[in-house]
Chain A
Amino acid sequence: MMIKIVDLHKRFGDQEVLRGVNLDIPEGKITFIMGRSGTGKSVLLKHIIGLLEPDSGQILIDGKDITTMSEKELAEIRKRFGMLFQEGALFDSMTVGENVAFPLREHTKLSEEEIWARVRAKLAQVGLLKDIDKMPSELSGGMKKRAALARALALDPEVVLFDEPTTGLDPIMQMSIAQLIKETKESHNLTCVVISHDIPVAFAAADKIAFLHEGVIIEEGPPEKIKESKHPFVQEFLRALKCPSL
Protein backbone atom coordinates (compact mmCIF):
# COMPACT_ATOMS: atom_id res chain seq x y z
CA MET A 1 0.00 0.00 0.00
CA MET A 2 1.43 3.34 -1.02
CA ILE A 3 1.01 6.24 1.39
CA LYS A 4 1.66 9.77 0.23
CA ILE A 5 1.32 12.82 2.44
CA VAL A 6 0.82 16.08 0.56
CA ASP A 7 1.19 19.56 2.09
CA LEU A 8 -0.40 18.62 5.42
CA HIS A 9 -1.27 21.44 7.81
CA LYS A 10 -2.66 21.15 11.32
CA ARG A 11 -3.00 23.68 14.07
CA PHE A 12 -4.26 23.34 17.65
CA GLY A 13 -5.40 26.74 18.88
CA ASP A 14 -2.46 29.12 18.43
CA GLN A 15 0.00 26.35 17.85
CA GLU A 16 0.77 25.38 14.28
CA VAL A 17 1.99 21.81 14.63
CA LEU A 18 2.24 20.71 11.01
CA ARG A 19 3.16 23.38 8.47
CA GLY A 20 3.08 21.61 5.15
CA VAL A 21 4.38 18.09 5.56
CA ASN A 22 5.24 16.25 2.33
CA LEU A 23 6.32 12.63 2.60
CA ASP A 24 6.23 9.42 0.59
CA ILE A 25 6.06 6.20 2.55
CA PRO A 26 7.34 3.38 0.35
CA GLU A 27 5.56 0.06 0.22
CA GLY A 28 7.13 -2.91 1.99
CA LYS A 29 9.72 -0.79 3.78
CA ILE A 30 10.30 0.50 7.30
CA THR A 31 10.06 4.28 7.43
CA PHE A 32 11.10 6.11 10.59
CA ILE A 33 9.72 9.58 11.27
CA MET A 34 12.07 11.23 13.74
CA GLY A 35 12.27 14.47 15.60
CA ARG A 36 12.36 15.94 19.08
CA SER A 37 9.61 15.27 21.61
CA GLY A 38 6.56 17.42 21.10
CA THR A 39 7.23 18.27 17.45
CA GLY A 40 4.04 16.66 16.19
CA LYS A 41 5.28 13.22 15.17
CA SER A 42 2.34 11.49 16.84
CA VAL A 43 -0.01 14.07 15.35
CA LEU A 44 1.33 13.19 11.91
CA LEU A 45 0.89 9.47 12.58
CA LYS A 46 -2.68 9.95 13.76
CA HIS A 47 -3.49 11.74 10.52
CA ILE A 48 -2.33 8.74 8.48
CA ILE A 49 -5.05 6.58 10.01
CA GLY A 50 -7.71 9.27 10.16
CA LEU A 51 -7.78 9.76 13.94
CA LEU A 52 -7.19 13.46 13.32
CA GLU A 53 -8.45 15.59 10.47
CA PRO A 54 -5.99 18.01 8.87
CA ASP A 55 -6.76 21.71 8.38
CA SER A 56 -5.56 21.33 4.81
CA GLY A 57 -3.57 18.90 2.71
CA GLN A 58 -4.06 15.32 1.59
CA ILE A 59 -3.22 11.82 2.69
CA LEU A 60 -3.27 9.54 -0.31
CA ILE A 61 -3.54 5.82 0.27
CA ASP A 62 -3.25 3.93 -3.00
CA GLY A 63 -4.03 7.25 -4.66
CA LYS A 64 -7.26 7.90 -2.71
CA ASP A 65 -7.48 10.86 -0.35
CA ILE A 66 -8.61 9.61 3.07
CA THR A 67 -9.22 13.10 4.44
CA THR A 68 -12.43 13.38 2.42
CA MET A 69 -13.69 9.87 3.15
CA SER A 70 -16.83 9.00 5.13
CA GLU A 71 -16.50 7.09 8.42
CA LYS A 72 -17.62 3.96 6.60
CA GLU A 73 -14.98 4.19 3.90
CA LEU A 74 -12.37 5.00 6.52
CA ALA A 75 -13.36 1.91 8.51
CA GLU A 76 -12.64 -0.22 5.44
CA ILE A 77 -9.20 1.40 5.03
CA ARG A 78 -8.47 0.96 8.74
CA LYS A 79 -9.00 -2.79 8.52
CA ARG A 80 -5.88 -2.88 6.35
CA PHE A 81 -3.90 -1.04 9.06
CA GLY A 82 -2.59 -2.04 12.43
CA MET A 83 -1.42 0.45 15.00
CA LEU A 84 0.81 0.05 18.00
CA PHE A 85 0.11 2.81 20.52
CA GLN A 86 2.74 4.30 22.77
CA GLU A 87 1.56 2.59 25.97
CA GLY A 88 0.06 -0.32 24.08
CA ALA A 89 -3.56 0.78 24.64
CA LEU A 90 -4.52 -2.80 25.49
CA PHE A 91 -8.08 -3.12 26.78
CA ASP A 92 -7.50 -3.48 30.48
CA SER A 93 -10.77 -5.30 31.08
CA MET A 94 -9.65 -8.21 28.87
CA THR A 95 -6.84 -10.77 29.07
CA VAL A 96 -3.94 -10.59 26.65
CA GLY A 97 -5.49 -13.39 24.57
CA GLU A 98 -8.89 -11.68 24.43
CA ASN A 99 -7.20 -8.46 23.36
CA VAL A 100 -5.64 -10.21 20.38
CA ALA A 101 -8.91 -12.01 19.66
CA PHE A 102 -10.86 -8.74 19.69
CA PRO A 103 -10.27 -7.57 16.09
CA LEU A 104 -10.84 -11.13 14.87
CA ARG A 105 -14.19 -11.30 16.66
CA GLU A 106 -15.19 -7.91 15.27
CA HIS A 107 -14.19 -8.33 11.67
CA THR A 108 -14.02 -12.02 10.77
CA LYS A 109 -16.43 -14.90 10.78
CA LEU A 110 -13.86 -17.33 12.16
CA SER A 111 -14.98 -19.96 14.66
CA GLU A 112 -13.80 -19.74 18.28
CA GLU A 113 -11.25 -22.49 17.60
CA GLU A 114 -9.83 -20.73 14.56
CA ILE A 115 -9.69 -17.45 16.47
CA TRP A 116 -7.73 -18.98 19.34
CA ALA A 117 -5.38 -20.78 16.97
CA ARG A 118 -4.65 -17.43 15.32
CA VAL A 119 -4.27 -15.70 18.72
CA ARG A 120 -1.77 -18.32 19.88
CA ALA A 121 0.18 -18.01 16.65
CA LYS A 122 0.41 -14.22 16.91
CA LEU A 123 1.39 -14.33 20.58
CA ALA A 124 4.02 -16.97 19.88
CA GLN A 125 5.47 -14.69 17.24
CA VAL A 126 6.04 -11.91 19.78
CA GLY A 127 7.15 -14.37 22.47
CA LEU A 128 4.15 -13.99 24.78
CA LEU A 129 2.34 -17.30 24.37
CA LYS A 130 2.78 -18.19 28.03
CA ASP A 131 1.14 -14.90 29.06
CA ILE A 132 -2.04 -15.47 27.08
CA ASP A 133 -4.28 -15.52 30.18
CA LYS A 134 -2.65 -12.59 31.98
CA MET A 135 -4.32 -9.21 32.38
CA PRO A 136 -2.51 -6.24 30.77
CA SER A 137 -1.84 -4.77 34.24
CA GLU A 138 0.33 -7.80 35.02
CA LEU A 139 2.66 -7.13 32.09
CA SER A 140 5.83 -5.03 32.00
CA GLY A 141 6.14 -2.11 29.57
CA GLY A 142 7.98 -4.14 26.94
CA MET A 143 5.54 -7.04 27.22
CA LYS A 144 2.60 -4.68 26.79
CA LYS A 145 4.09 -3.40 23.56
CA ARG A 146 4.65 -6.95 22.34
CA ALA A 147 1.07 -7.89 23.18
CA ALA A 148 -0.19 -4.76 21.45
CA LEU A 149 1.88 -5.69 18.40
CA ALA A 150 0.27 -9.13 18.37
CA ARG A 151 -3.14 -7.43 18.44
CA ALA A 152 -2.14 -5.02 15.67
CA LEU A 153 -1.08 -7.99 13.54
CA ALA A 154 -4.18 -10.08 14.23
CA LEU A 155 -5.96 -9.17 11.02
CA ASP A 156 -2.79 -9.52 8.92
CA PRO A 157 -2.66 -5.83 8.00
CA GLU A 158 -0.70 -4.36 5.12
CA VAL A 159 0.59 -1.39 7.11
CA VAL A 160 1.54 -1.14 10.77
CA LEU A 161 2.00 2.22 12.48
CA PHE A 162 4.24 2.33 15.55
CA ASP A 163 3.94 5.25 17.98
CA GLU A 164 7.21 5.45 19.94
CA PRO A 165 7.63 1.67 20.21
CA THR A 166 10.87 1.86 22.21
CA THR A 167 10.23 4.81 24.53
CA GLY A 168 10.52 3.90 28.19
CA LEU A 169 12.32 0.61 27.58
CA ASP A 170 15.85 -0.35 28.53
CA PRO A 171 18.46 -0.38 25.70
CA ILE A 172 18.44 -4.17 25.37
CA MET A 173 14.65 -4.27 25.13
CA GLN A 174 14.80 -1.37 22.64
CA MET A 175 17.03 -3.36 20.34
CA SER A 176 14.88 -6.44 20.75
CA ILE A 177 11.81 -4.41 19.72
CA ALA A 178 13.74 -3.04 16.73
CA GLN A 179 14.61 -6.62 15.79
CA LEU A 180 10.97 -7.62 16.25
CA ILE A 181 9.81 -4.85 13.92
CA LYS A 182 12.27 -6.03 11.26
CA GLU A 183 11.28 -9.68 11.62
CA THR A 184 7.58 -8.86 11.54
CA LYS A 185 8.04 -6.76 8.43
CA GLU A 186 9.82 -9.64 6.71
CA SER A 187 7.38 -12.33 7.80
CA HIS A 188 4.22 -10.33 7.01
CA ASN A 189 5.55 -8.34 4.07
CA LEU A 190 4.52 -5.15 5.87
CA THR A 191 4.84 -1.46 5.29
CA CYS A 192 5.94 0.00 8.63
CA VAL A 193 5.80 3.59 9.80
CA VAL A 194 7.65 4.18 13.05
CA ILE A 195 7.59 7.35 15.13
CA SER A 196 10.69 7.58 17.26
CA HIS A 197 13.44 9.79 18.62
CA ASP A 198 15.71 6.83 19.13
CA ILE A 199 18.67 7.11 16.72
CA PRO A 200 20.29 3.68 17.34
CA VAL A 201 16.96 1.92 16.89
CA ALA A 202 16.32 3.85 13.68
CA PHE A 203 19.74 3.02 12.23
CA ALA A 204 19.26 -0.62 13.20
CA ALA A 205 15.84 -1.03 11.62
CA ALA A 206 14.99 1.74 9.14
CA ASP A 207 14.98 1.56 5.35
CA LYS A 208 14.12 5.22 5.24
CA ILE A 209 14.36 8.00 7.81
CA ALA A 210 12.52 11.33 7.69
CA PHE A 211 13.19 14.18 10.08
CA LEU A 212 10.27 16.29 11.25
CA HIS A 213 11.33 19.68 12.58
CA GLU A 214 9.20 22.77 13.17
CA GLY A 215 6.28 21.28 11.31
CA VAL A 216 8.02 20.24 8.09
CA ILE A 217 10.16 17.34 6.86
CA ILE A 218 13.67 18.79 6.72
CA GLU A 219 15.56 15.72 5.61
CA GLU A 220 14.69 12.28 4.32
CA GLY A 221 16.43 9.29 2.84
CA PRO A 222 18.11 5.99 3.69
CA PRO A 223 20.12 5.87 6.96
CA GLU A 224 23.46 6.24 5.13
CA LYS A 225 22.29 9.50 3.59
CA ILE A 226 21.01 10.77 6.95
CA LYS A 227 24.41 10.13 8.54
CA GLU A 228 25.98 12.45 6.01
CA SER A 229 23.28 15.10 6.20
CA LYS A 230 24.50 18.69 6.20
CA HIS A 231 21.35 19.99 7.85
CA PRO A 232 22.34 21.66 11.14
CA PHE A 233 19.38 20.22 13.09
CA VAL A 234 20.05 16.67 11.91
CA GLN A 235 23.74 17.04 12.74
CA GLU A 236 22.86 18.30 16.19
CA PHE A 237 20.48 15.39 16.70
CA LEU A 238 23.13 12.87 15.66
CA ARG A 239 25.84 14.55 17.72
CA ALA A 240 23.74 14.47 20.87
CA LEU A 241 23.86 10.71 20.64
CA LYS A 242 27.60 10.49 20.93
CA CYS A 243 27.57 12.18 24.34
CA PRO A 244 31.13 13.64 24.20
CA SER A 245 31.14 14.27 27.93
CA LEU A 246 31.06 10.55 28.73
Chain B
Amino acid sequence: MFNPIASIGRATITLVREMGGMALMFFQVLVLTFRPPYRLRLFLKQMEFIGVNSTVVVLLTGLFSGMVLALQGYYGFRKFGGETLLGATVALSLVRELGPVLTGLMVTARAGSAIAAEIGTMRVTEQIDALTVMAVNPIHYLVVPRFWAGVITVPLLTVLADVIGIAGGYFVGVILLHIDQGIFIAKMKELVELSDILNGLYKAFVFGGLLTLIGCYKGYHARRGAEGVGQATTEAVVISSITILAGDYILTSLLFK
Protein backbone atom coordinates (compact mmCIF):
# COMPACT_ATOMS: atom_id res chain seq x y z
CA MET B 1 0.00 0.00 0.00
CA PHE B 2 2.86 2.39 0.79
CA ASN B 3 5.11 1.11 -1.92
CA PRO B 4 6.12 4.36 -3.64
CA ILE B 5 6.75 2.77 -7.04
CA ALA B 6 3.36 1.06 -6.99
CA SER B 7 1.62 4.30 -6.09
CA ILE B 8 3.41 6.19 -8.87
CA GLY B 9 2.30 3.45 -11.23
CA ARG B 10 -1.26 3.59 -9.99
CA ALA B 11 -1.38 7.36 -10.31
CA THR B 12 0.02 7.20 -13.83
CA ILE B 13 -2.50 4.58 -14.90
CA THR B 14 -5.34 6.63 -13.44
CA LEU B 15 -4.07 9.76 -15.17
CA VAL B 16 -3.77 8.07 -18.54
CA ARG B 17 -7.18 6.41 -18.18
CA GLU B 18 -8.89 9.67 -17.22
CA MET B 19 -7.25 11.63 -20.03
CA GLY B 20 -8.16 8.90 -22.50
CA GLY B 21 -11.73 8.86 -21.21
CA MET B 22 -12.04 12.62 -21.58
CA ALA B 23 -10.53 12.55 -25.07
CA LEU B 24 -13.04 9.86 -26.07
CA MET B 25 -15.90 11.88 -24.64
CA PHE B 26 -14.63 14.92 -26.55
CA PHE B 27 -14.67 13.02 -29.86
CA GLN B 28 -18.12 11.64 -29.11
CA VAL B 29 -19.30 15.20 -28.48
CA LEU B 30 -17.86 16.36 -31.80
CA VAL B 31 -19.49 13.52 -33.73
CA LEU B 32 -22.83 13.72 -31.93
CA THR B 33 -23.04 17.48 -32.42
CA PHE B 34 -24.02 16.86 -36.02
CA ARG B 35 -26.54 14.13 -35.28
CA PRO B 36 -30.19 15.17 -35.11
CA PRO B 37 -32.28 15.96 -33.15
CA TYR B 38 -30.59 19.30 -32.49
CA ARG B 39 -31.39 20.17 -28.93
CA LEU B 40 -31.60 23.94 -29.24
CA ARG B 41 -33.77 24.35 -26.18
CA LEU B 42 -31.34 22.50 -23.93
CA PHE B 43 -28.47 24.44 -25.45
CA LEU B 44 -30.16 27.78 -24.72
CA LYS B 45 -31.00 26.64 -21.21
CA GLN B 46 -27.34 25.80 -20.61
CA MET B 47 -26.24 29.12 -22.14
CA GLU B 48 -28.45 30.75 -19.54
CA PHE B 49 -27.14 28.61 -16.72
CA ILE B 50 -23.43 28.71 -17.57
CA GLY B 51 -23.37 32.16 -19.14
CA VAL B 52 -26.10 34.53 -18.05
CA ASN B 53 -26.14 33.33 -14.45
CA SER B 54 -22.36 33.76 -14.16
CA THR B 55 -22.45 37.40 -15.27
CA VAL B 56 -22.49 39.04 -11.85
CA VAL B 57 -19.70 36.88 -10.46
CA VAL B 58 -17.54 37.49 -13.51
CA LEU B 59 -18.23 41.24 -13.48
CA LEU B 60 -17.24 41.52 -9.84
CA THR B 61 -14.10 39.46 -10.38
CA GLY B 62 -13.12 41.55 -13.41
CA LEU B 63 -13.83 44.83 -11.67
CA PHE B 64 -11.73 44.17 -8.60
CA SER B 65 -8.92 42.57 -10.61
CA GLY B 66 -8.69 45.70 -12.77
CA MET B 67 -8.77 47.94 -9.72
CA VAL B 68 -6.08 46.08 -7.82
CA LEU B 69 -3.91 45.86 -10.94
CA ALA B 70 -4.04 49.63 -11.26
CA LEU B 71 -3.28 50.13 -7.60
CA GLN B 72 -0.32 47.74 -7.56
CA GLY B 73 0.96 48.93 -10.91
CA TYR B 74 0.87 52.54 -9.80
CA TYR B 75 3.17 51.95 -6.85
CA GLY B 76 5.61 50.06 -9.03
CA PHE B 77 5.64 52.54 -11.91
CA ARG B 78 5.89 55.57 -9.65
CA LYS B 79 9.37 54.47 -8.59
CA PHE B 80 10.73 55.31 -12.01
CA GLY B 81 8.10 57.76 -13.18
CA GLY B 82 6.35 55.33 -15.49
CA GLU B 83 2.79 56.03 -14.33
CA THR B 84 1.78 56.89 -17.88
CA LEU B 85 2.01 53.19 -18.77
CA LEU B 86 -0.59 52.22 -16.20
CA GLY B 87 -3.54 52.08 -18.60
CA ALA B 88 -1.68 49.91 -21.08
CA THR B 89 -0.42 47.56 -18.35
CA VAL B 90 -3.83 47.05 -16.82
CA ALA B 91 -5.42 46.44 -20.21
CA LEU B 92 -2.69 44.05 -21.41
CA SER B 93 -2.73 42.02 -18.20
CA LEU B 94 -6.49 41.72 -18.39
CA VAL B 95 -7.05 40.87 -22.03
CA ARG B 96 -4.08 38.53 -22.31
CA GLU B 97 -4.20 36.73 -18.98
CA LEU B 98 -6.48 37.65 -16.18
CA GLY B 99 -9.69 38.08 -18.14
CA PRO B 100 -9.79 34.56 -19.59
CA VAL B 101 -8.13 32.82 -16.65
CA LEU B 102 -10.22 34.39 -13.91
CA THR B 103 -13.40 33.97 -15.94
CA GLY B 104 -12.53 30.32 -16.52
CA LEU B 105 -11.89 29.78 -12.82
CA MET B 106 -15.05 31.55 -11.72
CA VAL B 107 -17.22 29.67 -14.22
CA THR B 108 -15.59 26.43 -13.05
CA ALA B 109 -16.45 27.25 -9.46
CA ARG B 110 -20.01 28.23 -10.30
CA ALA B 111 -21.07 26.12 -13.26
CA GLY B 112 -18.44 23.39 -13.64
CA SER B 113 -19.13 22.16 -10.12
CA ALA B 114 -22.88 22.30 -10.66
CA ILE B 115 -22.59 20.35 -13.93
CA ALA B 116 -20.60 17.60 -12.20
CA ALA B 117 -23.07 17.48 -9.31
CA GLU B 118 -26.14 17.41 -11.54
CA ILE B 119 -24.88 14.77 -13.95
CA GLY B 120 -23.37 12.82 -11.06
CA THR B 121 -26.72 12.74 -9.28
CA MET B 122 -28.37 11.60 -12.50
CA ARG B 123 -25.79 8.81 -12.73
CA VAL B 124 -26.20 7.48 -9.19
CA THR B 125 -30.01 7.68 -9.30
CA GLU B 126 -29.98 5.72 -12.60
CA GLN B 127 -31.44 8.63 -14.60
CA ILE B 128 -28.60 8.24 -17.11
CA ASP B 129 -29.39 4.53 -17.44
CA ALA B 130 -33.02 5.53 -17.90
CA LEU B 131 -32.00 7.75 -20.83
CA THR B 132 -30.05 4.89 -22.40
CA VAL B 133 -32.92 2.47 -21.90
CA MET B 134 -35.26 4.96 -23.59
CA ALA B 135 -32.88 4.86 -26.57
CA VAL B 136 -31.65 8.42 -25.94
CA ASN B 137 -27.89 8.82 -26.10
CA PRO B 138 -26.92 10.45 -22.77
CA ILE B 139 -23.84 12.15 -24.24
CA HIS B 140 -26.02 13.66 -26.96
CA TYR B 141 -28.65 14.75 -24.47
CA LEU B 142 -26.52 15.90 -21.53
CA VAL B 143 -22.97 16.64 -22.66
CA VAL B 144 -23.28 18.17 -26.14
CA PRO B 145 -25.48 21.14 -25.09
CA ARG B 146 -23.35 21.88 -22.03
CA PHE B 147 -20.07 21.66 -23.94
CA TRP B 148 -21.09 24.12 -26.64
CA ALA B 149 -22.75 26.43 -24.14
CA GLY B 150 -19.42 26.58 -22.28
CA VAL B 151 -17.40 27.09 -25.44
CA ILE B 152 -19.58 30.03 -26.47
CA THR B 153 -20.37 31.73 -23.18
CA VAL B 154 -16.93 31.75 -21.56
CA PRO B 155 -15.40 34.01 -24.28
CA LEU B 156 -18.44 36.29 -24.02
CA LEU B 157 -18.04 36.50 -20.26
CA THR B 158 -14.34 37.18 -20.77
CA VAL B 159 -15.18 40.22 -22.87
CA LEU B 160 -17.30 41.49 -20.00
CA ALA B 161 -14.50 40.86 -17.51
CA ASP B 162 -12.00 42.66 -19.78
CA VAL B 163 -14.22 45.70 -20.22
CA ILE B 164 -15.22 46.13 -16.61
CA GLY B 165 -11.67 45.38 -15.44
CA ILE B 166 -10.32 48.18 -17.63
CA ALA B 167 -13.07 50.44 -16.32
CA GLY B 168 -12.00 49.54 -12.77
CA GLY B 169 -8.40 50.29 -13.63
CA TYR B 170 -9.46 53.61 -15.12
CA PHE B 171 -11.40 54.47 -11.99
CA VAL B 172 -8.45 53.78 -9.71
CA GLY B 173 -5.81 55.27 -12.01
CA VAL B 174 -7.53 58.37 -13.32
CA ILE B 175 -10.11 59.23 -10.67
CA LEU B 176 -8.40 58.12 -7.47
CA LEU B 177 -4.71 58.44 -8.32
CA HIS B 178 -5.04 61.39 -10.73
CA ILE B 179 -3.13 60.05 -13.70
CA ASP B 180 -3.83 62.14 -16.77
CA GLN B 181 -6.88 60.75 -18.53
CA GLY B 182 -5.58 61.44 -22.04
CA ILE B 183 -2.29 59.64 -21.48
CA PHE B 184 -3.95 56.70 -19.72
CA ILE B 185 -6.18 56.11 -22.76
CA ALA B 186 -3.62 57.00 -25.43
CA LYS B 187 -0.96 54.58 -24.11
CA MET B 188 -3.54 51.87 -23.82
CA LYS B 189 -4.61 52.35 -27.43
CA GLU B 190 -1.01 52.50 -28.58
CA LEU B 191 0.23 49.35 -26.84
CA VAL B 192 -2.75 46.97 -26.84
CA GLU B 193 -3.14 45.25 -30.19
CA LEU B 194 -6.09 43.43 -31.60
CA SER B 195 -4.11 40.17 -31.47
CA ASP B 196 -3.74 40.56 -27.71
CA ILE B 197 -7.49 40.66 -27.32
CA LEU B 198 -8.15 37.86 -29.81
CA ASN B 199 -5.58 35.52 -28.32
CA GLY B 200 -7.13 36.09 -24.93
CA LEU B 201 -10.47 35.11 -26.37
CA TYR B 202 -9.02 31.97 -27.97
CA LYS B 203 -7.90 30.97 -24.50
CA ALA B 204 -11.36 31.59 -23.10
CA PHE B 205 -12.81 29.45 -25.88
CA VAL B 206 -10.54 26.54 -24.89
CA PHE B 207 -11.19 27.03 -21.16
CA GLY B 208 -14.94 27.00 -21.74
CA GLY B 209 -14.70 23.66 -23.51
CA LEU B 210 -12.33 22.19 -20.92
CA LEU B 211 -14.30 23.11 -17.85
CA THR B 212 -17.63 21.84 -19.19
CA LEU B 213 -16.07 18.65 -20.54
CA ILE B 214 -14.31 17.91 -17.24
CA GLY B 215 -17.48 18.67 -15.25
CA CYS B 216 -19.53 16.38 -17.50
CA TYR B 217 -16.91 13.62 -17.49
CA LYS B 218 -16.55 13.59 -13.72
CA GLY B 219 -20.30 13.60 -13.17
CA TYR B 220 -20.87 10.97 -15.83
CA HIS B 221 -18.46 8.58 -14.11
CA ALA B 222 -19.61 9.27 -10.54
CA ARG B 223 -20.18 6.16 -8.42
CA ARG B 224 -21.35 5.20 -4.95
CA GLY B 225 -24.20 7.54 -4.09
CA ALA B 226 -23.99 10.93 -2.45
CA GLU B 227 -20.36 10.48 -1.45
CA GLY B 228 -19.40 9.73 -5.03
CA VAL B 229 -21.23 12.80 -6.30
CA GLY B 230 -19.42 14.98 -3.77
CA GLN B 231 -16.10 13.52 -4.80
CA ALA B 232 -16.88 13.98 -8.50
CA THR B 233 -17.75 17.62 -7.89
CA THR B 234 -14.56 18.32 -5.96
CA GLU B 235 -12.44 16.56 -8.56
CA ALA B 236 -14.13 18.45 -11.38
CA VAL B 237 -13.29 21.79 -9.78
CA VAL B 238 -9.72 20.86 -8.88
CA ILE B 239 -8.90 19.27 -12.23
CA SER B 240 -10.56 22.05 -14.22
CA SER B 241 -8.73 24.75 -12.27
CA ILE B 242 -5.34 23.11 -12.68
CA THR B 243 -6.01 22.37 -16.35
CA ILE B 244 -6.98 26.00 -16.94
CA LEU B 245 -3.82 27.30 -15.27
CA ALA B 246 -1.53 24.79 -16.96
CA GLY B 247 -3.35 25.23 -20.25
CA ASP B 248 -2.93 28.97 -19.92
CA TYR B 249 0.84 28.59 -19.84
CA ILE B 250 0.82 26.30 -22.87
CA LEU B 251 -1.53 28.54 -24.83
CA THR B 252 0.47 31.64 -23.92
CA SER B 253 3.67 30.06 -25.20
CA LEU B 254 1.92 28.98 -28.41
CA LEU B 255 -0.14 32.09 -29.13
CA PHE B 256 2.08 34.97 -28.06
CA LYS B 257 5.32 34.50 -29.92
Q: Judging by beta carbons under 8 Å apart, are A106 and B135 in contact?
A: yes
Closest to A76 in B: B135
Complex CA distance for A56 and B229, rounded to whole angstroms: 32
Chain B residues, Cβ within 8 Å of A107: 134-135
B residues 121-146 in Cβ contact with A at 8 Å = 121-122, 125-127, 129-130, 132-137
Q: Judging by beta carbons under 8 Å apart, are B127 and A91 in contact?
A: yes
Least distance between B253 CB and chain A CB atoms (Å)? 40
Complex CA distance for A12 and B133, rounded to whole angstroms: 22
How does the 8 Å CB contact mask read for A44-59 relative to B, with 1 for contact and 0 for none? Answer: 0010010100000000
How does the 8 Å CB contact mask read for A82-97 relative to B, with 1 for contact and 0 for none? Answer: 1101110111100000
Least distance between A79 CB and chain B CB atoms (Å)? 5
Residue A120, interface by CB 8 Å: no
How does the 8 Å CB contact mask read for A36-68 relative to B, with 1 for contact and 0 for none? Answer: 000000000010010100000000000000000
Residue A169, interface by CB 8 Å: no
Chain B residues, Cβ within 8 Å of A79: 135
Closest to B131 in A: A91
Complex CA distance for A78 and B127, rounded to whole angstroms: 16
Complex CA distance for A87 and B121, rounded to whole angstroms: 13
B126 in complex: contacting residue of A49, A81, A89, A102, CB < 8 Å: A89
Complex CA distance for A78 and B37, rounded to whole angstroms: 18
Q: Judging by beta carbons under 8 Å apart, are A89 and B132 in contact?
A: no
Least distance between A153 CB and chain B CB atoms (Å)? 12
Least distance between B42 CB and chain A CB atoms (Å)? 11
Q: Judging by beta carbons under 8 Å apart, are A89 and B127 in contact?
A: yes
A106 in complex: contacting residue of B121, B125, B134, CB < 8 Å: B134
Taking residues whose C-beta sits less than 8 angstroms from the other chain, chain A's interface range is 20 to 34
Least distance between B44 CB and chain A CB atoms (Å)? 15
Taking residues whose C-beta sits less than 8 angstroms from the other chain, chain B's interface range is 10 to 19
Chain B residues, Cβ within 8 Å of A102: 134
Complex CA distance for A184 and B127, rounded to whole angstroms: 23
Q: Judging by beta carbons under 8 Å apart, are B134 and A87 in contact?
A: no
Q: Judging by beta carbons under 8 Å apart, are A78 and B135 in contact?
A: yes
Complex CA distance for A76 and B134, rounded to whole angstroms: 10
Closest to B130 in A: A89
Complex CA distance for A51 and B121, rounded to whole angstroms: 18
Closest to A85 in B: B126
* Given A87-B125, A89-B125, CB of A51 within 8 Å of CB of B133: yes
A78 in complex: contacting residue of B122, B125, B126, B133, CB < 8 Å: B133
A51 in complex: contacting residue of B127, B129, B136, CB < 8 Å: B129
Chain B residues, Cβ within 8 Å of A85: 126, 129-130
Complex CA distance for A166 and B132, rounded to whole angstroms: 23
Residue A28, interface by CB 8 Å: no
Residue A221, interface by CB 8 Å: no
Chain A residues, Cβ within 8 Å of B129: 46, 51, 85, 89
Complex CA distance for A82 and B133, rounded to whole angstroms: 7
Chain B residues, Cβ within 8 Å of A78: 132-135
Q: Judging by beta carbons under 8 Å apart, are A49 and B133 in contact?
A: yes
Complex CA distance for A87 and B124, rounded to whole angstroms: 10
A-B contact pairs, 18 of them (CB 8 A): A46-B129, A51-B132, A51-B133, A78-B134, A79-B135, A81-B133, A83-B130, A83-B133, A85-B126, A85-B129, A86-B126, A87-B125, A89-B125, A89-B127, A92-B125, A92-B127, A106-B37, A106-B134
Identify the A interface with B (CB < 8 A): 46, 49, 51, 71, 75-76, 78-79, 81-83, 85-87, 89-92, 102-103, 106-107
Beyond A90-B127, A92-B121, A106-B134, 16 additional pairs, beta carbon < 8 A? A46-B129, A49-B133, A51-B129, A51-B133, A75-B135, A78-B133, A81-B133, A85-B126, A85-B129, A85-B130, A89-B125, A89-B126, A90-B130, A92-B127, A103-B134, A106-B136
